[in-house]
């Protein structure tokens, strides 16, 4: 069975974007890799919510052409999608449950929190890789949406960089 990994950057106070959806506060791409390339080498599929998809598109050319990309949206896309992108209107839990049964490598749950929340609640996220950026935003789009019950996570590893960014890598509990 394939694993699903939520690998996402967050501010120190738990926000994945500014109130307007901007991620300008994140470290600039290319200066430090933060383990990103190594992680991508083990994945072949991405899961994104529509807002996250549009944000990625706004930042330049589609960067995940080598992956199979599923974008969850109740609305049809405003723009023509890259050939590697498929829009999914069905309920995410059932879709991801079936996707995990198919052959392949790691499934990267890119975000956002609206998509991640039901998958976390259903126990379909195997690992959580939080790249904690040493910035306090004060408000914004929270990584954490309502969870049905508390979960205890098992630490797999941590890594720090000179700029104060920390990777927290956890395994989530298995649900029957």
CA angle 133, 134, 138 (to 5 degrees): 95
Please name which of 50, 55, 53 lies closest in space to residue 23, comparing C-alpha atoms: 55
Rounded mean pLDDT of 90-111?
Answer: 95
- Read off the pLDDT of residues 64-93 as tens digits, 9 standing for 90 and up: 999 999 999 988 776 677 889 999 999 999
Lowest mean pLDDT across 38-42, 61-65, 150-154: 150-154
- Confidence tier at 139 by pLDDT (50, 70, 90): very high
* Structural domain boundaries in the chain: 4-20+30-171
Has residue 147 got a pLDDT over 70? no
| 123-148 burial code (b ≥16 CB/10 A, e <16) | ebbbbbbbbbbebebeebbebeeeee
> Stretch 138-143: mean pLDDT, rounded?
91
Alpha-carbon span 4 to 20, nearest angstrom: 28
Whole-number Å distance between alpha carbons of 164 and 135: 9
Q: How confident is the model over 125-144, as a mean pLDDT?
A: 94
Higher pLDDT, 143 or 98: 98
Q: Which two tokens stand for residue 30?
A: 């290319």
Mean pLDDT (the chain, rounded)? 90
- Rg (C-alpha) for the chain, rounded Å, is 16
Neighbours of 152 (CB within 10 A): 7
- 4-20+30-171 is a CATH 1.10.10.60 domain: no
Cα dihedral 123→23→40→84 (10° resolution)? 90
Element (H, E) at 44: strand 43-49
Say if residue 154's pLDDT is above 90: yes
**What pLDDT, on the 0 to 100 scale, is given for residue 25?**
86
Residue 49 has pLDDT above 80, yes or no: yes
Question: H-helix or E-strand containing 94?
Answer: helix 92-101
pLDDT of the residue at 148: 65
Q: Which helix (H) or strand (E) holds 157?
A: strand 154-160
| Nearest Cα to Cα of residue 122 among 105, 100, 140 | 100
């Amino acid at each position: 069975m394939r694993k699903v990994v939520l690998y996402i950057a967050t501010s120190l106070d738990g926000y994945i974007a500014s109130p307007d959806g901007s991620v300008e506060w994140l470290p600039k791409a290319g200066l430090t890799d933060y383990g990103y390339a190594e992680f991508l080498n083990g994945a072949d599929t991405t899961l994104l919510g529509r807002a996250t998809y549009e944000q990625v598109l706004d930042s330049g050319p589609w960067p995940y052409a080598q992956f199979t990309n599923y974008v969850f949206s109740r609305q049809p896309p405003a723009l023509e999608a890259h050939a590697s992108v498929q829009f999914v209107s069905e309920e995410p839990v059932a879709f991801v449950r079936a996707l995990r049964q198919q052959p392949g490598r790691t499934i990267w749950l890119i975000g956002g929190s609206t998509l991640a929340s039901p998958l976390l609640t259903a126990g379909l996220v195997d690992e959580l890789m939080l790249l904690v950026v040493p910035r306090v935003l004060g408000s914004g789009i929270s990584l954490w949406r309502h969870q049905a019950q508390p979960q205890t996570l098992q630490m797999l590893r941590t890594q720090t960089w000179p700029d104060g960014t920390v990777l927290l890598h956890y395994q989530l509990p298995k649900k029957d």
